[in-house]
Structure 1
């Protein structure tokens, strides 16, 4: 069943060992660097009860009401419902947050698709996967994922350096496995559980490795330590940095100091083939919610830039319109990939409906690879006053307020205070420490750029272009070699041949 924001807050007051800026945090729900995001996550939980938003945020399963973000996707309608819920969430809170659960639970569905592969190794692992997927649905935890290790020297196998550089199993017990090492995970300090998985290590030809392990970690477990980067919240007035003070998602180095993982929480273990399989399919669902957030970031860039152009009367100039059009093309490019990935969705090995993989992954490359260029275009449109405007206090101080009122009032519609607010918002969106952090986060949050392109390579229908050229150049049939699909049997061609994608038939 869905839970309330206060129930969520109570669930993370579990005595966990959290450190930030050299300080031991006694309560993450009230600490100034964590409280803003805890409050947002609590607000999202409460939206599931709010009469105005509950119909969008929840789904009924018999007598039980569940969070729409946690529900398994079986149809296009399910994906449209998830998309509406994510948009509603971000529009309600007034900004973009990434690590709030709906974009990480999809990684568990990838495990669900790989259950047959994992069952060949150990049937218990497949059962554990199904159990935890339904546990997330019915218990409504704040579920995140832990992926990146400190890594160390990546030219060497982990055994030839400090073995703890990569998370690994140190021993087995009747109760479960004991793990040691560290993982980076945004939001771990104030979440309930994490799907903890391996970074692909230098395993060579090893079939088995103590580093090939994936499990569900209760983030209140003994032996965990959370060492967090200093947050942006509270470092400067909220009036001057409205995004940094509300939407900073604190990143954490999670230390596993001989942590016991019960056997029922182990999802795969030792078999490198299983680990590589999971890594290759990890984002087949979660990439959708991640890319959708770039769509909302694009809306923020457009809104800030267009307001600035209109209030200063520059929106009628062709050069300004061309730059606004570039932002619109970027935004609609993301929108098109998301929309098409639903319209041409594909059945997964386990019978779920997954977004069209080629379109989803190419959309992710578009969204991430061009974001920095769009930010710079928005900077140009907002102008130099973004970086030179005085702080809010100066607009209130008796000796300086009249002058700022004079020079920042544009017309009767745009008075000084509104212009200051817009410039402060744009500064925090485009120029601040928080803005730089957000840009880097969007670039690496799911995987680095080369991995984004590798996912496209694995999922694009290469047979279609090859067969087209084979016929156009009158080449013999044997030049095709082994194919992955029947020539011309791509999801796109099926759409035009039959009026609907093959997967939806």
Structure 2
């Protein structure tokens, strides 16, 4: 089928699934007050593709039907640039606040299918064929897919990857006539209430003997035994004046329990093949998926910079220190944009014809953004000061006795109407200080691993020859 509309997406969410939020099993994720805002926001993302088909849609290479550009398997630098434009347009809808819009997994599985050879290594040819077939299903059905790849942390002394016999991690516990049975848990499935299917694929390398944990598959959210325990909701009421961001962009995160779930054979991409599991994510995956993640970050930083300028203007804060802090946000925004451009300019081709951006510029961002985003929130709160709390609600604004007083005593600087000032500060607080803001800050701190972990692993993702050449000039000089 061609790219789905928002109505078709919402209809697909009404099927059975076991999703728990704030102690309640949700019967309908589309209409429940704690989920409806994000459900309808994502429906608008699906509709966005039909509103901008020249940017966001392309013909399927086999059927000719229009599908999202995020399903593209890039075969050239021009393909990457086309995908870049589409990814930015989607990210702009949520100003980068939704890190797991469906294009994230679309790009992921397009990259997997484009690197079929990497999945076929170590005797995993059948799994690779099934994965390529699944990617066709994903793009032709315009499926909303989430994932869960991190093993639960119970005791850090046991290591981040499960050893053989670990009773908590997701593992194979049996075979059936049509597939396998899995048991255990994974974290975190962001977007879980709003997905049609869930993916499991490799994360950290597994130790010898942990073959039962070496799994990769995709299954419907309705699979029997699959349970989703969501974190406390950060979704606010649907009033977009009072809660301009948290009324619609709480994408949710879920702890996932696989309570003896059967995985059909045709959905199984790695079945206990430890060598394949440990190698497949070390090649093209980081550079491919980080095009989407860093474009989203770039959009979010652009928004934060623009928001900081509006906050300052509302109170005419033009002093050098305020401008310095706003300039700090601008520098983060510009560094991020420039790194994405550099990565796309230095794009490379992999065996099999897949093109990805260069890895090093994007890994540098991956290591640094967890430090920048908390600082951005701090700057907005410093500039906003107490003003972020002097923000009457719509109910107060609608009161015939209060409204004249609000207009009289709470205007912005230089003739800015009170309503505009209030909107600015409510937007700033929802971005930098609300429950949604706190969730997003924590999310960014550990998005694709923490800053210390990524900095420590930088040699895995970059070429040191340029630096070594400069140092060797002096170390190799004759006496």
TM-score normalised over the length of structure 1: 0.86
Deviation, structure 1 residue 261: 0.8
1:299 matched to 2:298: no
Equivalent pair of 2:96/2:297 in contact (CA under 8 Å)? no
Question: C-alpha deviations, 1:38-82, integer Å up to 9, x for none?
Answer: 2122222222222xx111110124532111011111222222222
Given that 2:95 and 2:299 are in contact with CA atoms closer than 8 Å, whether structure 1 keeps it comes out as no
Partner residue of 1:200? 204
After superposition, the Cα gap between the structure-2 partners of 1:235 and 1:116, relative to the gap in structure 1 and judged at 3 Å, is closer
Residue 176 in structure 1 maps to residue 186 in structure 2: no
**Gapped regions of structure 2 (runs ≥ 5):** none
The CA distance in 1 between the partners of 2:163 and 2:474, in whole Å, is 53
Q: Decide whether the 8 Å contact of 2:73 with 2:354 is kept in 1.
A: yes
For residue 191 of structure 2, the aligned residue among 170, 187, 193 is: 187
SS of equivalent residue, structure 2 residue 214: strand
Q: Residue in 2 aligned with 1:252?
A: 254
Provide the secondary structure at the position in 1 that maps to 2:317: coil
The 5 Å alignment of 1:47-446 reads 47-50=48-51, 53-61=52-60, 63-92=64-93, 96-112=97-113, 113=115, 115-116=117-118, 118-156=120-158, 158=162, 163=167, 165-183=168-186, 184-200=188-204, 203-206=206-209, 209-234=211-236, 238-281=240-283, 282-315=285-318, 317-410=319-412, 413-446=415-448
After superposing the two structures, state which structure 1 stretch, 321-330 or 227-236, moved more: 227-236
The answer (yes or no) to whether the contact 2:189–2:256 under 8 Å persists in 1 is yes
- For residue 490 of structure 1, what is the aligned residue in structure 2? none
Secondary structure of 2:211's match? Answer: strand
Of 466-475 and 455-464, deviating more is 466-475
Distance 1:61 1:156 in 2: 46
SS in 2 for 1:284: helix
Please say if residues 198 and 214 of structure 1, whose CA atoms lie closer than 8 Å, have aligned partners that are also in contact: yes
Structure 1 unaligned residues grouped into runs of 5+: 477-505
Q: Is the 8 A contact 1:291 1:367 kept in 2?
A: no
Q: Secondary structure at the match of 2:15?
A: coil
Q: Deviations over 1:435-459 (max 9, x none)?
A: 1111111222322334433553211
> 2:202–2:216: 8 Å Cα contact kept in structure 1?
yes
Q: 1:468 to 1:411 in 2, by over 3 A?
A: closer
- Aligned CA distance change for structure 1 residues 186 and 397 (closer, same or farther; 3 Å): same
Q: SS state of the match for residue 304, structure 1?
A: helix
Which region of structure 1 is more displaced relative to structure 2, 166-175 or 282-291?
282-291
Structure 1 position 342, deviation (Å) = 0.3
Change (3 A) 1:197 1:312: same
> What secondary structure is seen at the aligned counterpart in 1 of 2:32?
coil
**Which whole-Å deviations, capped at 9, do the CAs of 1:134-193 have from their partners, x for residues lacking one?**
222222101222112323224338568761x11000101231111111222011122012
CA contact (8 A) 2:97 2:440 kept: no
Deviation at residue 418 of structure 1 after TM alignment: 0.8
How far apart are residue 475 of structure 1 and its match?
5.6
Shift of 1:195: 2.1
Could you tell me whether the CA contact under 8 Å between 2:367 and 2:452 is conserved in 1?
no
Name the stretch that deviates more: 265-274 or 342-351: 265-274
Could you tell me how far apart the structure 2 residues matched to 1:159 and 1:366 are?
31
- Aligned residues of 2:237 and 2:243 also touching (Cα < 8 A): no
Q: 1:475 to 1:416 in 2, by over 3 A?
A: same
Give the CA deviation at 1:434.
1.2
Structure 2: how far apart are the matches of 1:444 and 1:74? Answer: 31
Shift of 1:235: 5.7
Partner of 1:486: none
Whole-Å Cα distance in 2 between the matches of residues 467 and 411 of structure 1? 56
Secondary structure of 2:157 counterpart: coil
**Residue 463 in structure 1 maps to residue 465 in structure 2:** yes
> Following TM superposition, by how much is the alpha carbon of 1:214 offset from its aligned partner in structure 2, in angstroms?
1.1
User: Is the contact between residue 124 and residue 276 of structure 2 (CA under 8 Å) also seen in structure 1?
Assistant: no
- Please say if residues 37 and 238 of structure 2, whose CA atoms lie closer than 8 Å, have aligned partners that are also in contact: no
User: What SS does the aligned partner of 2:208 have?
Assistant: coil
Residues 302, 324 of structure 1: 8 Å contact kept: yes
CA contact (8 A) 2:96 2:296 kept: no
Paired with 1:440 and 1:54, the residues of 2 have a C-alpha distance of: 34
Verify the 8 A CA contact 2:366 2:451 in the aligned structure 1: no
Residue 91 of structure 1: how far off its partner (Å) = 3.5
2-structure distance, mates of 1:271, 1:454: 28
CA contact (8 A) 1:58 1:65 kept: yes
User: How far did residue 92 of structure 1 move?
Assistant: 4.3
Please state how far the C-alpha of 1:351 moved relative to its aligned partner.
1.7
Distance 1:236 1:48 in 2: 24
Query: Once structures 1 and 2 are overlaid, which stretch shifts more, 339-348 or 410-419?
Result: 410-419
Contact 1:129 1:267 in 2 (8 A): yes
Q: Quote the Cα distance in structure 1 between the aligned partners of 2:65 and 2:247.
A: 36
Quick one: structure 1 residues 144 and 455, their matched pair in 2 at CA, closer, same or farther if it must change by over 3 Å?
Answer: farther
Q: Which has the higher contact order (CA 8 A, sep 6+)?
A: 2
Q: Give, in angstroms, the shift of residue 85 of structure 1.
A: 1.7
Relative to structure 1, is the Cα distance of residues 399 and 78 closer, same or farther in structure 2, using a 3 angstrom cutoff?
same
